[in-house]
Structure 1
């Protein structure tokens, strides 16, 4: 953001406002809004090689015979490469030129000089109220002040598609966790998940051979030739041994290649939150 403030002596705020309007148009800037009551003007520049456009704000005020003009520019960038300062300088130059022209045309009357009574400098009289200084600003000859009211953009309304998606997600979650088909789908998904061992029961005391069989279903075995076959089912599972840390069972394992071989299955603890399970052919 770049800003600069200048004072103009013996210039009424109305004349300064008009000169600022003209100077902005001289620079090819677009006036977006202007308010003669509050003496504020909002303008904008076009996109350039230095910025995506500048937002320019002019604020004026009047204190006695002196008027003040503050100009601010903002591009929304970390740096505008001096463009804001150049625009401010050009606007002030234009204001000076138009004020000089208005004075030459007699549209700005200077305040009348103070007249002293005879002998006032030697024996000043008691303080008297200072007469108000009057200025005259003639209306512009060819231009009219236009006030542009910028209405806020309408609020975006929620689309019907968003509600449809929410309802579909809610129904999907309901199907997964309530219906039998959904529960079966989740069970199959977890059975084939690499995280199955992480979510499996870690208390070996709760295992029997049926539970071991369910745990290994869906896993794949690889033979010495690199072929991989999925475990479809386990039949006639029998317990061989069981301790607090490990259970071992045997059973006929049906593979996806159509074979069913007698294999050894084991589950053992691998920490507080995980178990390891193995399926090995019986030699």
Structure 2
């Protein structure tokens, strides 16, 4: 009698764009451009922050951490997707699929916590400016960033281990462009109710408190800004927060719409656009949002452009 888990050890087939054979090359060019721009934009933030010593300030220190997350997260999916589109080889090994799944969940969790830390940083800067550099000292900032990565890569371990033991006795075809948790659960021939329940529980333990802390921080921030008598002062205070709020809305919105609903209501047709948003577009637009909103970044880029010309 054949082993029920035999198909899983053989790997899976990524069929995200296999129905659009005539668009393989245009899609390859599109995703290659997005990936290269993502790397360039996020590396620019790291280089500018380092060369101008902005990385010494807490806000830019956390921004560099977000840039690292975006570089790693886009590198989890994009290279494999580019190979699939260019060569047509859509196979991915079982270990590679589990690794991709774990990296996705870990980096998403790390970004959740990191965005919460960045909201707290803005809260201290605006609501308690005189003690800002004392509270957000270098040692505390380093501890916060290390904690973000530790929580991010520890929380999904149970999911990874449980999914890696599931038997996949039917089709190996994943109707997606990366190894998505819900699709893997639907392919399994074993009852996955416990893993689905664990997803909601752990998602609530990490995501819900993080979201509440962000909302709480901005309630205090808005209340403090409204007390500022100078209109220019209020505008400056708001401008330091709008970029972070924009990133939070885009990231939280795309993730929650996709995963915080029953698997029975999961649609690959609808999930692909939202997955494209948080796996490709969000890492790309994050640095542009912060660059356009941050005076120091704009000044550095402008100076470099003048020097080149």
* Shared fold, TM over 0.5: no
Q: What's the TM-score, normalizing by structure 1?
A: 0.25
Q: Which is higher, the Rg of structure 1 or of structure 2? A: 1
Higher share in strand: 1
- Flag the structure with higher helix content: 2
